[in-house]
Amino acid sequence: MREMTIMITPDDNLLATNEFLRDGVRMSVAIGRPQPYPTGSGWRCRVRVECGTTRLEQSQVVAPTAQEVLRLALELVTTRLGMTESEFFEGATMSPAA
C-alpha cells in the first residue's frame, strides 16, 4: 500500500480555512497562499479538502499570476463542494497578508 504524500498541512502558510457540516459530514477546507515557482515561470496554490474522516482530496492549481491562481483555487473549492464563494467565506478564517 502506498503512503499518501501530504501536500498541505495545518502548519503551512494558509490563506483561508473553513470547517462546516454538510449533510451531517464534517468538511474542512484549506487554501494555501499563492507561491511563485522557483524558476519564476508561474504561480501555484495548494488546496486541501477533507470530507469526514475517510476522504482527503489535495490539489495544486497553477497559473501565470498570483491573482489568477487564487481565483482558480477558489473556483476549484466552490465547484467541488457545490457552494458559492459567499457560502465558503461565511465563517472562514482568513490569514492576514504576509
pLDDT in tens, 40-79: 889 999 999 998 888 888 999 999 999 999 999 999 999 9
Sign of CA dihedral 80, 85, 91, 97: positive
Is 8 contained in some domain? no
Most confident of 2-6, 30-34, 38-42: 30-34
**53 domain-assigned:** yes
What's the domain range around 42? 14-92
Number of domains in the chain: 1
Is 54 within a domain?
yes
Q: Is residue 97 in a domain?
A: no
Q: Does 42 reside within a domain?
A: yes
Q: Are 89 and 95 in contact (CB under 8 A)?
A: no
The pLDDT, as a whole number, for residue 3 is 44
Q: What is the mean pLDDT of residues 27-49?
A: 91
Residue 2 lies in a domain: no
Q: Tell me the pairing of strands 55-63 and 35-36.
A: unpaired
Q: What is the pLDDT of residue 74?
A: 95
Banded pLDDT at 1 (limits 50, 70, 90): very low
| Residue 5 counted as domain residue | no
> Do the domain assignments include residue 9?
no
* Maximum CA extent, the chain: 44
pLDDT band at 12 (very low <50, low <70, confident <90, very high): low
